[in-house]
Amino acid sequence: MTTSGGAQPRLRSTVERGDTAAVRALVAATGFFRDDEVDVAAELVAERLSRGVASGYHFVFAEIGDRMAGYSCFGPIGCTVSSHDLYWIAVHPDFQGSGVGTDLIRETERRVGELGGTRVYVETSSTARYEPTRRFYERRGYAAEGVLRDFYAPGDGKVIFVKVLPEASASP
Amino acid sequence: MTTSGGAQPRLRSTVERGDTAAVRALVAATGFFRDDEVDVAAELVAERLSRGVASGYHFVFAEIGDRMAGYSCFGPIGCTVSSHDLYWIAVHPDFQGSGVGTDLIRETERRVGELGGTRVYVETSSTARYEPTRRFYERRGYAAEGVLRDFYAPGDGKVIFVKVLPEASASP
């Protein structure tokens, strides 16, 4: 819905040494995640750097100027033919509402398609705090396919969203 | 529903060096799993042996005489307060229908309770081949809480079962 005020992010899928620290700083800056969750976000970048594509973790980084404005982390789900998980998507508070999230998710879906994926799954909490997150996914074509009540904690269920990618969406 | 013909399994939660090979042989003997799935089953035992409880993998082994009749693998789900996953449960063909599966799942739930768990999740396929598996869980108090269509492959969805453990079930 929103468009950038002018600063178009540069999107990058390669992973560089400094990304571990940059992702840690970005995820922490959102103020949305616990310390152990911030650790996990950074660890996935480190694992990709040490193990390469075999890690199963793929990334899209959105850069504006010399800053990391946002990123996504995704990958194929084991024991499935073509399902992928979107593990993380985060936008720095300074760039929220500027369309970076939309750019990230669009590029993520394009990359999933390149990797042979046909379905993108993303999980989030059912609590009020995550209402904007759920709306974000719904507006981008994701549908809640299941809710596991009290999954994270009493009163905090897990909502599983899925988007079936249009076939041959890559080429017009 | 069925009772053992007499051979009562010995249930054990400690993990021993020989269990990696024994689990591999057992899972392969069921004829139910692909080679890569058999590898994963064995790897989880190896990871528990090398990393201990920090691996997040717990086991119950059912032994009859000097044979491993069946086993389960389970553990706490990260970022949840008290949800646990039942990753694997398998019974050797020679002992199927003798109540070993029921013994294993009962002991698994008791152990989850000891670990502070309150909910046990288990996932399986929606295909006809897994009908007996789904019936097994349903008869033991598991309810299908969600189905992700075409998750594993076209026509092969994921069914997510959950059992909420009765509180303070440990002590009478």
What is residue A171's predicted lDDT score, i.e. its pLDDT?
45
What is residue B169's predicted lDDT score, i.e. its pLDDT?
47
CA–CA distance, A10 with A8 (Å, rounded to integer): 7
Report whether pLDDT(A8) > 80.
Answer: yes
Average pLDDT value for residue range B139-158: 98
Tell me if B134 sits within 8 A of B124, measured CB to CB: yes
What is residue A72's predicted lDDT score, i.e. its pLDDT?
98
Residues of A with CB under 8 A from a CB of B: 36-37, 40, 78-83, 119, 121, 145-154, 160, 162
What is residue B2's predicted lDDT score, i.e. its pLDDT?
43
Question: How far is CA A91 from its chain centroid?
Answer: 9
**pLDDT grade, residue B146 (50/70/90)?**
very high
**pLDDT grade, residue B168 (50/70/90)?**
low
What domains sit in chain B, N to C, each tagged with a CATH number? 10-117 (3.40.630.30), 123-167 (no CATH)
- State which residue of chain B sits closest to A143, comparing Cα positions: B148
Half-sphere exposure (Cβ direction) of B61: Cα atoms closer than 13 Å: 21
Q: Which two tokens stand for residue A164?
A: 């079936």
Mutation target to probe the A interface, by most A beta carbons within 10 A, among B37, B158, B164 is: B158
Task: Tell me which residue in B36, B83, B148 faces A151 most closely, judged by beta carbons.
Answer: B83
Map tokens 């959102």 to a residue: A30
Write out chain A residues lying below 8 Å of B130, CB-based. none
CA–CA distance, B138 with B130 (Å, rounded to integer): 12
Task: Tell me which residue in A36, A146, A152 faces B146 most closely, judged by beta carbons.
Answer: A146
What is residue B46's predicted lDDT score, i.e. its pLDDT?
98
Please write the tens of the pLDDT for every residue from A104-150: 999 999 999 999 999 999 999 999 999 999 999 999 999 999 999 99
Compute the nearest-CA separation of B89 from chain A (Å). Answer: 17
**What is Dmax (Cα atoms) for chain B?**
47
Compute the nearest-CA separation of A152 from chain B (Å). Answer: 4
Please write the tens of the pLDDT for every residue from A23-38: 999 999 999 999 999 9
**pLDDT grade, residue B4 (50/70/90)?**
very low
Mean of pLDDT over chain B: 93
Write out chain B residues lying below 8 Å of A160, CB-based. 146, 148
Please write the tens of the pLDDT for every residue from A148-171: 999 999 999 999 999 999 875 444
Report whether pLDDT(A3) > 50.
Answer: no
| Interchain CB distance below 8 Å, B160 and A147 | no
Tell me if A60 sits within 8 A of A100, measured CB to CB: no
CA angle in degrees (0–180, nearest 5) for A32-A78-B69: 115
Write out chain A residues lying below 8 Å of B146, CB-based. 145-148, 160
Q: Strands across the sheet with A58-64, in order?
A: A10-12, A58-64, A67-76, A83-91, A119-125, A156-164, A143-153
Please write the tens of the pLDDT for every residue from B9-64: 999 999 999 999 999 999 999 999 999 999 999 999 999 999 999 999 999 999 99
Report whether pLDDT(B95) > 70.
Answer: yes
Please write the tens of the pLDDT for every residue from A39-50: 999 999 999 999
Average pLDDT value for residue range A56-82: 96
pTM of the predicted protein model: 0.90
CA–CA distance, B75 with B62 (Å, rounded to integer): 18
Write out chain A residues lying below 8 Å of B80, CB-based. 151-153
| Interchain CB distance below 8 Å, A152 and B121 | no
| Interchain CB distance below 8 Å, A146 and B150 | no
- State which residue of chain A sits closest to B120, comparing Cα positions: A151
**pLDDT grade, residue B73 (50/70/90)?**
very high
Task: Tell me which residue in B82, B148, B153 faces A145 most closely, judged by beta carbons.
Answer: B148
| Interchain CB distance below 8 Å, A160 and B148 | yes
Please write the tens of the pLDDT for every residue from B109-121: 999 999 999 999 9
Q: Which two tokens stand for residue B87?
A: 């990753």
Task: Tell me which residue in B81, B119, B152 faces A81 most closely, judged by beta carbons.
Answer: B152
Tell me if A44 sits within 8 A of A31, measured CB to CB: no
Closest CA to B132 of B89, B103, B74, B94: B89
Q: How far is CA A142 from CA A139, A164, A165, A169, A170, in A?
A: 7, 8, 10, 16, 19
Quote the ipTM score: 0.90
Closest CA to B84 of B120, B44, B37: B120
Of residues A56 and B7, the one with the higher pLDDT is A56
